[in-house]
Amino acid sequence: MYPKIDYDKCVGSLECYDVCPADVYDVEETEGGKRAKVARPDDCTECEQCTDSCPTDAIELVD
C-alpha cells in the first residue's frame, strides 16, 4: 500500500511531509503555494502517520 493525495481536499499544510519517517514525500511548488507529492510510494511503511496528521483527511492508503 502507498499514500494517495486528493488534491481537491489538500490545503498544503505539509504535515504529511513533516511526519513521514520513510521520506515518501517531496514538496512541489504550485500556483497556489507548496504542496506535498508522493515521490517514493514503494518506500511507504504503511505507518499511517501521514493520514493521521492530515488536517483535511486528503490522504488515503491504496493498493
List pLDDT tens digits, range 1-59: 999 999 999 999 999 999 999 999 999 999 989 999 999 999 999 999 999 999 999 99
Q: What is the CATH number of the domain that holds 20?
A: 3.30.70.20
Q: Which residues contact 52 (CB under 8 A, 6 or more apart)?
A: none
| Contact (Cβ atoms closer than 8 angstroms) between residue 44 and residue 24 | yes
pTM: 0.92
Task: Give the pLDDT score at 36.
Answer: 98
pLDDT at 29: 96
| Residue from 31, 1, 19, 2 nearest 55 by CA | 19
Cβ-based neighbour number of residue 2 at 10 Å: 14
DSSP E strands: which ranges in 13-55?
25-30, 33-38
Q: How many domains does the chain have?
A: 1
Length of the chain (residues): 63
Q: What is the extent of the structural domain holding 32?
A: 2-62
